[in-house]
A and B are shown apart, each in its own frame.
Chain A
Amino acid sequence: MKIVVLVKHVPDAQFERHLSGPGHTVDRSESILSELDEYALEAALQISEANGGEKGGNTVIALTMGADGASNSIKKSLQIGASEGYHLSDPALAGSDAAATSLALAAAIQRIAQDGPVDLVIGGMASTDGETSLVPAQLAERLGWAYVGHAKSLDVNGATVAASREVDGFAETLEASLPAVVSVTDQINEPRYPNFKGIIAAKRKKTHPLALGDLGLEAASVGAAGSLTVLEDAQERPARTQGTIITDEGDAGIKLVEFLAAEKLI
C-alpha cells in the first residue's frame, strides 16, 4: 500500500498566536507539526505495519504544503517513521484558503501517484490553526475519491476502508472503496514519539521538493489570488482579565450562587 499523510506546520498553541499583514495571515514563526496530524501519521504507520511494513511493499509518505519552515514537520514525520517526504513550497501558495489548498494538494498527490498509485490519504480531523476541517473532504472531491471523516477507528483490507465515528449525536460505521481520503480524530490511537533509531534513520530518508511548476498549476489558481474566500477583517479579542478570586472558608458555594445571581445567570 502507498499511504500519503497530510502534515501541516502550524503555530504552536502553547504560545499566543497572531494574524498579521494585509491578508490577515497566521504568523508562523513558532510553528510545529500539528498535534492532530500525529494521529494521522500513527494510523498510517499502523496500517503499513499490519501489512508487513516497508518490506511488505508499504510506503508512508508525509506531504506538507508550506514555506521553508514546514520542512521541520516533514523531518519530524520521517523521524517518527514515514518512509519519505514531499514538501510543496512556492511563494504563490501564501494565503491559500481551503479551496486553493485542496487544489494544490490534489495536484501534489497526482504527481506522487505518477511513481505508483496512492491507495489512501490520511489527515487529521482539522488543522489547529485554520480549524475548518474542509481540506480533506475537498481533496477527496477533487481527486474523485471517497471521503471518510472523523474516524475513531480504521480497518483497511485490500480494496476497502471501514471506519467508525461518533459525530453529531450518532455512532456511525462507514465503508469506502480505495483509493480514499480519510481524516482521523485524537481518539484513534496513541501516537509514538521519535526514538534515537528513528532520528538516525531519518537522516537517510528523502524529502522531495515540489513547486507549482512541477504540478502544472498556475500561480493565479492558488494562494490569495486563487482563494474563493477572503478575510476582510481580523480583530484581536481583548485579553480576559482576572476577576474576583476567593479562598473557600466554608461558604464558597453560597458566594458562588450570590455571584451568579448578581450576574443574572440564575
Chain B
Amino acid sequence: MAHVLAVITSPDGALKKNQRELLTLGRGLGDVSVALIGDDAAATEAATYGAAVTYTAPAAVSALGGSARAAFVAEAVSRSGADVVLLENGVAAKELAASLGVKLNAGVVTDVVSLSTDGAATKSVLAGSYTTVARARTAVAVYTVKAHAVEPSEAPVEGRTEAIDLPESAYGAAARITSREAKPATGRPDLADARIVVAGGRGVDGDFGPVEELADLLGAAVGASRVATDNGWIGHDSQVGQTGVVVSPQLYISAGISGAIQQKAGMQTAQVIVAINTDEDAPVFEIADFGIVGDLFTVLPQASEEIRRRRG
C-alpha cells in the first residue's frame, strides 16, 4: 500500500475544497500524511480528513519560492517514507512539484484528473483533444491533481504534528516573495473549479452585465476570451483558454465568442456547450450542443428572466 504525502498551502489555517479532495484521494491510495506550509491550525482539519501526521514548515518557507518549499517537502517525504506526493494543480503547486521532482529524482505528472491505486494517472493533453494515461517510473511519484478528482469526505483520525526545521542553506537560491495580496473575493466560484461557466467575448463590446447576471443566477463563474481581457473589459483572471484558465465544467455558455481555434480548444472539454452569436457562420457553432444565432443582449436577459420566473 502506498504512503501518500499531500502538500497543503494554507495561509489562513483553513482547508480549501480541493485540498480536502487531495486528502480524500490520498486515503484511497494508502496512509496519508500532510506537508503543511502556512498556518498550523490547518493540521486539525487535516486530521479530520485522515492525516495521521502533519509536518509543519519553518515560517521562512512561506515567503520563499518553489525550490525552498520543495526542500521542506523533500524532508517530509524522507521522514514519512512517502512514495506518492499529491499537490494541487495551481501555478505555485506546479513550481513546487517541478523542483521536488529534481530534488528527489521523481517523475512528475501534472493536470491529473484521476489516479488509480497502481499509480496510473489520467489527464487530457493538446487542449483536450487526447486523454492520456501517464505514470511515474521512479521510487517516488509526484502528481498535481485538478479539482473535482474525488468528492471530499471526512475520516477523522487522531492526528499529530511534527515541526520540520531546516538550516538556511537548505533553501538554496530560491526567489523571495516580497509582497503578496489576496485578490478581492468576487463571491463567484473559481473559474478553474466551476461546474458552470458563462463566458463573454468580442460580442459583449465592453458590457459584461448580461453575462454576469446569468452567471450569478446559475451560480456560475464568469469567463472571457482573450479579446475581452486584452480590451480591459474584464480582468485577465477571467481569461479562458491556453494562456488563461483551462476549464472543464459541466456547462459552458459562450456569448459573443466566435470560437477561433484557440478559444474552441479552451472550451471543448466542457460536457455541454451552449453558444450565442450573431454570426451564423461562427466556428463555435460547430461544437455547440445548443446554438442560438442571435443577439446576446436580448437572449441572455430573457434567459435570466425566464429562470427567475420559473423559480417564482
Give me the interface of A with B, judged by CB distance under 8 Å: 13-14, 16-17, 19, 24, 26, 36, 97-99, 102, 125, 128-138, 140-142, 144-150, 162, 165-177, 180, 185-187, 227-237, 240, 242-248, 251-257, 259-261, 263, 265-266
Contact = CB atoms under 8 A, between A and B. Distances in A.
11 contacts: A98-B108, A133-B95, A134-B98, A134-B110, A147-B175, A170-B183, A176-B65, A237-B124, A245-B285, A247-B292, A265-B272
Contacts, number: 267
A99 B101 contact: yes
Contacts of A132: 94, 108, 110-111
Interface in B149-207: 172-183, 190, 196
B90 A180 contact: no
Interface stretch (B21-29, B35-43, B75-83, B299-307): B299-307
A24 B134 CA distance: 11
Given A176-B65, A256-B290, A256-B303, A131 B243 contact: no
B105 A228 contact: yes
Contacts of B67: 137, 140-141, 146-147
Interface residues of B, number: 92
A171 B289 contact: no
A102 B108 CA distance: 13
A231 B307 contact: no
Interface string B265-300: 100110011101000100001111111111100111
Contacts of A227: 107, 137
A142 B181 CA distance: 30
A240 B177 CA distance: 43
A254 B300 CA distance: 9
A134 B101 contact: yes
Secondary structure at the A interface, as helix, strand, loop or mixed, is mixed
Contact of B134 (A230, A242, A257): A230
Contacts of A254: 302-303, 306
B261 A14 contact: yes
Contacts of A266: 218, 307
Nearest to B11: A170
B95 A99 contact: no
B137 A248 contact: no
B175 A146 contact: yes
Interface in B66-103: 66-67, 70, 90-95, 97-99, 101-103
Interface of B: 65-67, 70, 90-95, 97-99, 101-103, 105-111, 120, 124-138, 172-183, 190, 196, 218, 236-237, 242-243, 250-251, 261-262, 265, 268-269, 272-274, 276, 280, 285-295, 298-307, 310
Given A146-B65, A147-B65, A265-B272, A172 B290 contact: no
Given A137-B99, A244-B291, 4 more contacts: A141-B98, A167-B90, A187-B236, A235-B131
A149 B95 CA distance: 8
B129 A149 contact: no
Contact of B175 (A175, A247, A251): A175
B91 A173 contact: no
Contacts of A259: 274, 290
Given A166-B236, A246-B293, A248-B295, A231 B285 contact: no
A251 B292 CA distance: 11
B108 A252 contact: no
Given A13-B265, A248-B299, A144 B180 contact: no
A145 B99 CA distance: 11
B183 A167 contact: no
A259 B199 CA distance: 18
B236 A174 contact: no
A148 B65 contact: yes
A166 B183 contact: yes
A171 B183 contact: yes
B280 A247 contact: yes
B269 to A, nearest CB: 8
Contact of B129 (A14, A231, A237): A237
B39 to A, nearest CB: 15
Given A173-B178, A244-B290, A253-B299, A138 B99 contact: yes
Contacts of B182: 169-170
B274 A256 contact: yes
A33 to B, nearest CB: 15
Residue among A130, A149, A253, A260 having the largest count of chain B Cβ atoms under 10 Å? A253
A181 to B, nearest CB: 10
Contacts of B294: 247-248, 252
A146 to B, nearest CB: 4
A168 B276 CA distance: 30
Contacts of B304: 253
Given A147-B175, A244-B289, A260-B251, A171 B181 contact: yes
Contacts of A19: 125-126, 130, 132
B111 to A, nearest CB: 7
Contacts of A260: 251, 274
A35 to B, nearest CB: 8
Contacts of A231: 132-134
